[in-house]
């Protein structure tokens, strides 16, 4: 694990080269609806509506709050897959018990260090896991010595972190823990320049997709878009999609105006998913798809709808070797998993 470097009033974080993403993906998802809520955000994005940029050398503050008294565990995953446990820690404000409806910050006001961004560039993910009971992270992270302020995490990447934490929370009731994920980009000075995209349409309910990612409803300006050429698609109910390629320039706004023509017979929707039944004799085994926990084996199986294409399937069960394999989903079918002890 690459260590945080404690300099005079400075804590450095390294990112790694990764393609920025416009929409977020959760790291770990509770299959039940908990009665506990948690929110994590950066100081540049308190409402969670965008992925903010932090230039190398900038200071960042990560914040978390809960709706009930809870123990909060805070992790940072950079683009190279390096995981750092930020909370709990051994700094003055490093206790992780958070009172309901209060804000816990890293670093906290008055701490004798700052959290400074260092290169190279990349997308970072911040996971906050809140639990009504204190969790045992002994198999996931440890303080290597009495002098270490931050614990060393033995998981690498989003998938391993999700799998390890899912095992940690598995013994406790599902309604007593919850997680949230925030994202931010680490950018160099050269990458800090961004542009805007305005998309206007003549019909309500149109949705804009840039480079395959959903930006939001049309008839608005989308800011902080990196310069470059991107495929753009505008979709509206009852109309054929509009597609084009646009060029975004730094410190400029690219305008796209879409005039939809009436379609008397809307094109039938094409399903991009297929039903998949995962079979295993190990009831209670945890199933992950592309790094996300999607459920457990019950009565010998688990029914899913997966998008067509390649997916990594992982099965984890106590007493068995972890099963990992990649499947190409083209149509509905059954996947049988028989892990070894």
Is there a domain that residue 297 lies in? yes
pLDDT tens digits for range 77-109: 887 788 999 999 999 899 999 999 999 999 998
pLDDT tens digits for range 188-206: 766 567 888 999 998 889 9
Per-residue model confidence (pLDDT) at position 249: 87
Per-residue model confidence (pLDDT) at position 267: 56
Same domain, yes or no: 19 and 104: yes
- Residue 38: CATH number of its domain: 2.60.40.2550
**122/181 Cα distance (integer angstroms):** 16
- Contact (Cβ atoms closer than 8 angstroms) between residue 303 and residue 328: no
Q: What is the total count of domains within the chain? A: 3
Same domain, yes or no: 45 and 106: yes
pLDDT mean across residues, the chain: 84
**280/264 Cα distance (integer angstroms):** 48
Determine the Cα angle at 154 with ends 135 and 291, to 5°.
Answer: 80
- How large is the average pLDDT for residues 170-197? 84
Q: How confident is the model at residue 19 (pLDDT cuts 50, 70, 90)?
A: very low
Domain boundary among 190, 214, 233: 190
- Contact (Cβ atoms closer than 8 angstroms) between residue 252 and residue 278: no
Same domain, yes or no: 205 and 177: no
Same domain, yes or no: 21 and 137: yes
- Contact (Cβ atoms closer than 8 angstroms) between residue 221 and residue 196: yes
Per-residue model confidence (pLDDT) at position 271: 75
Domain limits for position 287? 273-336
Same domain, yes or no: 73 and 84: yes
**289/312 Cα distance (integer angstroms):** 6
Same domain, yes or no: 120 and 159: yes
Per-residue model confidence (pLDDT) at position 154: 92
Per-residue model confidence (pLDDT) at position 115: 87
Q: Distance between terminal CA atoms of the chain?
A: 30
Beta strands at 323-329 and 309-316: parallel, antiparallel or unpaired: antiparallel
Helix (H, G, I), strand (E, B) or coil at 15: coil
Q: How confident is the model at residue 6 (pLDDT cuts 50, 70, 90)?
A: very low
Domain boundary among 258, 289, 310: 258
Same domain, yes or no: 176 and 208: no
Lowest-confidence range among 69-83, 234-248, 252-266? 252-266
Is there a domain that residue 341 lies in? no
Is there a domain that residue 264 lies in? no
Q: How confident is the model at residue 9 (pLDDT cuts 50, 70, 90)?
A: very low
- How large is the average pLDDT for residues 120-136? 90
Per-residue model confidence (pLDDT) at position 137: 95
Is there a domain that residue 265 lies in? no
Element (H, E) at 309: strand 309-316
Beta strands at 286-289 and 83-87: parallel, antiparallel or unpaired: unpaired
- Residue 293: CATH number of its domain: 2.60.40.1120
Same domain, yes or no: 202 and 181: no
Same domain, yes or no: 202 and 180: no
Per-residue model confidence (pLDDT) at position 305: 92
pLDDT tens digits for range 154-167: 998 888 998 999 99
Per-residue model confidence (pLDDT) at position 15: 30
Is there a domain that residue 268 lies in? no
Q: How confident is the model at residue 13 (pLDDT cuts 50, 70, 90)?
A: very low
Token representation of residue 243: 């597609």
Same domain, yes or no: 101 and 243: no
Alpha helices in the chain (DSSP H): 157-169
**182/128 Cα distance (integer angstroms):** 8
Is there a domain that residue 228 lies in? yes
The model's pTM: 0.54
Same domain, yes or no: 110 and 207: no
Is there a domain that residue 240 lies in? yes
Per-residue model confidence (pLDDT) at position 191: 59
- Residue 216: CATH number of its domain: 2.60.40.10
Domain boundary among 190, 217, 239: 190
Is there a domain that residue 112 lies in? yes
**217/160 Cα distance (integer angstroms):** 35
Same domain, yes or no: 180 and 222: no
106 or 270, higher pLDDT = 106
Q: How confident is the model at residue 286 (pLDDT cuts 50, 70, 90)?
A: very high
């Amino acid at each position: 694990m690459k260590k945080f470097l404690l300099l005079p009033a400075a804590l450095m974080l390294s990112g790694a080269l990764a393609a920025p993403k416009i929409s977020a993906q959760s790291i770990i998802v509770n299959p039940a609806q908990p009665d506990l809520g948690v929110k994590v955000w950066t100081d540049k994005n308190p409402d969670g509506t965008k992925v903010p940029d932090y230039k190398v050398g900038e200071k960042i503050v990560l914040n978390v709050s809960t709706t009930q008294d809870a123990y909060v565990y805070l992790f940072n995953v950079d683009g190279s897959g390096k995981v750092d446990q930020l909370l709990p820690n051994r700094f003055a404000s490093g206790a992780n018990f958070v009172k309901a409806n209060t804000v816990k910050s890293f670093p906290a006001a008055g701490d004798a260090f700052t959290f400074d961004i260092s290169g190279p560039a990349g997308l970072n993910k911040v996971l906050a896991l809140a639990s009504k009971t204190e969790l045992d992270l002994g198999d996931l992270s440890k303080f290597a010595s009495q002098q270490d302020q931050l614990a060393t995490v033995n998981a690498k990447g989003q998938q391993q972190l999700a799998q390890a934490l899912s095992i940690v929370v598995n013994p406790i009731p599902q309604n007593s823990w919850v997680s949230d994920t925030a994202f931010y980009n680490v950018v160099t000075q050269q990458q800090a320049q961004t542009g805007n995209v305005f998309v206007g349409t003549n019909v309500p309910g149109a949705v804009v997709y840039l480079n395959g990612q959903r930006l939001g409803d049309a008839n608005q300006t989308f800011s902080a878009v990196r310069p470059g050429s991107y495929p753009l698609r505008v979709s509206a109910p009852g109309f054929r999609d509009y597609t084009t390629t646009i060029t975004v320039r730094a410190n400029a706004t690219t305008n796209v105006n879409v005039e939809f023509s009436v379609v008397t017979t809307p094109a039938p929707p094409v399903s991009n998913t297929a039903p998949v039944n995962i079979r295993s004799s190990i009831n209670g085994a945890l199933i992950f798809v592309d790094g996300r926990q999607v459920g457990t084996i019950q009565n010998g199986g688990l029914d899913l709808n997966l998008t067509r294409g390649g997916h990594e399937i992982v099965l984890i069960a106590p007493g068995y070797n972890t099963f990992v394999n990649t499947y190409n989903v083209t149509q509905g079918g059954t996947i049988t998993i028989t892990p070894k002890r």
